[in-house]
Every structure is written in structure tokens, then in C-alpha cells.
Structure 1
Amino acid sequence: MSASPEFIEYVKELFEPLGNLKEGKFFGGFSFKSDNRQFAMIMGNTLYFCVNDITRMKYEKNDMEPFSYTTKKGIVKVKKYYSAPEELFENQEKLVVWAKEAIDSAYSYK
């Protein structure tokens, strides 16, 4: 499912405090990079943040789901990206904190 242009623009506005980010199309969705490291993506109208082994627990405690897609063999879960909690969209400062954590998580991958 493609990311809606309106949702992409909304997330871009929320990410403005993060400074200069690289943005672009990504497998039918949209990606956000900091220093060439992808830390977030939008698929459909869902924002996913990059997680690592430590931050993943916070997402799981909040009942957030990993990014997944379907193949002929079944559902594939990508545990590097988890959906952002809905309440973050009501508080830009909190969303930016989680985004910065996602940027740090992106650096934990080679």
C-alpha cells in the first residue's frame, strides 16, 4: 500500500526539529534518513521507527507491531522497524525524542 502524500507531508512537518533529513520513495512507501542511515519509514499510513535489541522492548511493551509484508510463503516480519505509537502524533516533542532514539538505533546496524 502506498503512503498517502498528506500523511508524508504531516510527518515531514513533525520531523522539522530534527534538521536536514534525506527523504525519498522506498518500496511503495517513503523513507527518512539521517546521515545516510534510514531511521524511519512510512508504509501505507503507518510510521515505522528503526529499533535495536534494547529499544525494541519499549515498542513491544506498548503493543506496537513490527513492519510486515506478505510473500507467497507467508508473512515476513521485519523486526528492525516497529510502528510508532499513535499518541506520539499528539505531541511533537515526544515524537522527536522517539525519532532521535530511532536515529541512534540506526547507527547500531552496519
Structure 2
Amino acid sequence: MGASAGFVAYVREQFAPLGAAVTDAVFFGGRAFSYHGKQFAWVMGSTLYLRVGDATRGDFVAHGAEPFSYVTRKGQVEVRKFYTAPEFLLDDSEQLLAWARQAIASAE
């Protein structure tokens, strides 16, 4: 599943206020977003995933977010460092930036 070009462009626009330190590149068929070289988000398909840490994981879970997962021959694998961005963030630029800043802090 690749990253939706339109959705990547939307996310790139939303992250623009974070400055030139934000870069993005191909990442396992999706698109990874990094801040000063530290990955804090990625897009797979039309889904945005943000980096979480012990201090922020509860907020994601409380908003119904789920960890990134994929299926292998041995079963499902969960990547608990990245959770889906809660839906409300995609409609609220200020909140998305606030959560992105927390994701950046979690990546350091």
C-alpha cells in the first residue's frame, strides 16, 4: 500500500509551519516525515501515523487511535511507536501541529 499523493501533499502543507527542518521521503512504500533527521510521522495509504512515547500513548488510545500493524506469514506485528492520528486532528490544523510537536519530542 503506497502513500496517497494527495494526502501526502495535505500533510506536508499542515506540517509547513514547523519549518524547513521537516523533510519527507519514501519509507516502505509510504512517506516518512522527519524533523532534523528524526522520524516523527509517516503516511501509509491515506492514514497518518504519529510517533508516540510513554507520555503520549494514553492520549492516542483515549481517542481511539491504534498502533501501526502489518501481517506476516507468522501473524500480525504491531509497531507500538507509531499510532494512527486521531480523526479530529485532520480537521484542526492547530491541534495537528500540537500533536506533531509531541511526536517530534517522542522521537528524540
Does the alignment reach a TM-score above 0.5?
Answer: yes
Q: Which amino acid aligns with 1:10?
A: Y
Give the fraction of aligned pairs with identical amino acids, expressed as a percent. 49
Paired amino acid for 2:24: E
Aligned length: 107
Superposed, which structure 2 residues align to 1:35-46 within 5 Å? 35-46=36-47
Structure 1 runs, 4 residues or longer, greater than 2 Å off:
none
Unaligned 5+ runs, structure 2 = none
**SS of residue paired to 2:104:** helix
RMSD in angstroms over aligned alpha carbons? Answer: 0.6
Aligned to 1:28: 29
TM-score between both structures, scaled by the size of structure 2: 0.97
Structure 1 unpaired stretches of 5+ = none
- Report the equivalent of 1:77: 78
Q: Distance in 2 between matches of 1:42 and 1:81?
A: 11
Match of 1:10 in 2: 10
1:91, distance to aligned residue in structure 2 (A): 1.0
Q: Which whole-Å CA distance do the structure 1 matches of 2:14 and 2:34 have between them?
A: 15
Cα deviation code 1:32-87 (max 9, x no counterpart): 00011000000111000000111111111111000001100011000000000111
TM-score, normalisation: structure 1: 0.95
